[in-house]
Amino acid sequence: MKAGSSYKKREQIAGGFKFAILLLFGLLLITPFVWMVSVGFDRTANVTMPFPPKLIPKSPSSFNFGIVFENGSLLKAYLNSGIVTVSSVFIGVSASLLAGYAFSKGRFKGKKVLFVVVLCTLMIPMEPRLIPLYKLFNSVHLLNTFWPLVLPSLISGMLIFLCKQFFDQLPDTLREASQIDGAGEFTTFFRIYLPLAGPIVATMIILAFIWSWNDFMWPLVVLNSKELQTVPLYLASFSLENGTSLGGLTMALATMSVLPIVILYLFLQKYIIQSIALSGVKGE
Amino acid sequence: MANNSIELNVKMEVEKVQSKRKDWGLKWYVFLIPSFLGILLFMVYPVFESLRLSFYQSNGTVENYIGLANFKSVLTSNSFWNSVWNTFYIGIFQIMITIPLGFIFASLINSTKRGQNFFKVLYFLPNVTSIVAAAMIFAFVLHPEMGIVNYVLHAIGLPTPGWLSDPSTSKWAVIILAVWHWIGFVIIICLANLQAIPSEMYEAARIDGASGLQQWFFITIPNMAGTFAFLLITGWIGALQRFNEVYVLGGPNGSPARSIQTMGAFIYERGFTGFEFGIASAATYIMFILILVFTFINLKFSKMKI
Q: Are residues A45 and A103 in the same domain?
A: no
Q: Residue B63: beta bridge partners?
A: B58
pLDDT for A180-235, tens place per residue?
888 888 899 999 999 999 999 999 999 999 999 999 999 999 999 999 999 999 99
Q: Are residues A212 and A236 in the same domain?
A: yes
Please give the pLDDT value at position A284.
36
Q: Are residues A99 and A237 in the same domain?
A: yes
Q: Does B277 touch chain A (CB under 8 A)?
A: yes
Option in B39, B277, B280 nearest A117 (CB): B39
In chain B the first and final C-alpha atoms are separated, in Å, by: 47
Q: Are residues A160 and A50 in the same domain?
A: no
Q: Is the previous residue joined to B256 through a cis bond, with omega within 30 degrees of 0?
A: yes
Please give the pLDDT value at position B16.
54
pLDDT for B189-235, tens place per residue?
999 999 989 989 999 999 998 888 899 999 999 999 888 988 988 89
How many domains is chain A built from? 2
pLDDT for A249-271, tens place per residue?
999 999 999 999 999 999 999 99
Residue A274 belongs to some domain of the structure: no
Residue A146 belongs to some domain of the structure: yes
Please give the pLDDT value at position A78.
96
pLDDT for B87-108, tens place per residue?
999 999 999 999 999 999 999 9
pLDDT confidence bin for A31, thresholds 50/70/90: very high
Please give the pLDDT value at position B225.
87
Substitution target from A78, A130, A229 for chain B, most B beta carbons within 10 A: A130
SS3 of residue B68 by DSSP: coil
Where a domain ends, among A16, A46, A64? A64
Q: Are residues A18 and A84 in the same domain?
A: no
Sign of the torsion angle spanned by Cα atoms B100, B101, B103, B107: positive
Among candidates B131, B272, B258, B126, which has minimal Cα distance to A236?
B131
Taking the mean position of all CA atoms in its chain, how far away is CA A113?
Answer: 30
Query: How big is chain B, counted in residues?
Result: 306
Residue A170 belongs to some domain of the structure: yes
Question: Torsion over CA of B236, B284, A150 and A100, rounded to 10 degrees?
Answer: -60
Q: Tell me which residue range forms the domain holding A48.
A: 2-64
Which residues contact residue B108 at a Cβ distance below 8 angstroms, ignoring those fewer than 6 apart? A18, A21, A22
Residue A195 belongs to some domain of the structure: yes
Q: Does B109 touch chain A (CB under 8 A)?
A: yes
A180: left (phi over 0), alpha (psi -120 to 50) or beta: alpha
Q: Are residues A143 and A217 in the same domain?
A: yes
User: How many Å apart are CA A64 and CA A70, to the nearest integer?
Assistant: 10
Whether B1 shows a pLDDT value over 70: the answer reads no
Q: Are residues A13 and A126 in the same domain?
A: no
Over range A237-243, report the average pLDDT. Answer: 91
Instruction: Kindly report the backbone phi and psi dihedral angles of residue A281, in degrees, each rounded to the nearest multiple of 5, phi listed first.
Output: -70, -40
Q: Are residues A154 and A218 in the same domain?
A: yes
Residue A273 belongs to some domain of the structure: no
Q: Are residues A38 and A120 in the same domain?
A: no
Contact (CB, 8 A) for A139 and B19 = no
Q: Which residue of A has its CA nearest to B255?
A: A240
Residue A260 belongs to some domain of the structure: no
Please give the pLDDT value at position B10.
57
Q: Looking at residue A199, which CATH number applies to its domain? A: 1.10.3720.10
Single-letter code of the amino acid located at A126:
M
In chain A the first and final C-alpha atoms are separated, in Å, by: 46
Q: Does A121 touch chain B (CB under 8 A)?
A: yes
Whether B19 shows a pLDDT value over 80: the answer reads no
Which residues contact residue B79 at a Cβ distance below 8 angstroms, ignoring those fewer than 6 apart? B258, B261, B266
Q: Enter the ipTM.
A: 0.91
**Pairwise CB contact (< 8 Å): B188 & A277:** yes
Single-letter code of the amino acid located at A90:
F
Taking CA atoms, A208 is separated from A118, A230, A272, B228, B269, in Å, by 17, 16, 11, 25, 28
Residues 20-49 of B with CB under 8 A from A: 21, 24-29, 31-32, 34-39, 41-43, 45-47, 49
Number of alpha carbons in the 13 Å side-chain half-sphere of residue A59: 4
Q: Which residue of B has its CA nearest to A242?
A: B136
Residue A88 belongs to some domain of the structure: yes
Taking CA atoms, A159 is separated from A113, B222, B231, in Å, by 18, 30, 19
Q: Are residues A55 and A89 in the same domain?
A: no
**Pairwise CB contact (< 8 Å): B189 & A235:** no
Whether B302 shows a pLDDT value over 70: the answer reads no
Option in B49, B128, B295 nearest A123 (CB): B295
Which residues contact residue A283 at a Cβ distance below 8 angstroms, ignoring those fewer than 6 apart? A158, B230, B234, B302, B304
- Contact list in A for residue B29 (CB cut-off 8 A) is 108
User: How many Å apart are CA B101 and CA B231, to the nearest integer?
Assistant: 13
pLDDT for A101-131, tens place per residue?
999 999 899 999 999 999 889 888 899 999 9
User: How many Å apart are CA A56 and CA A37, to the nearest integer?
Assistant: 9
SS3 of residue A153 by DSSP: helix
Residue A120 belongs to some domain of the structure: yes
Q: Are residues A6 and A25 in the same domain?
A: yes
Which residues contact residue A226 at a Cβ distance below 8 angstroms, ignoring those fewer than 6 apart? A73, A237
Mark A20-55 as b/e (b = at least 16 C-beta within 10 Å): eebeebbeebebbbebbbbbbbbbebbeebbeebee
Q: Are residues A19 and A112 in the same domain?
A: no
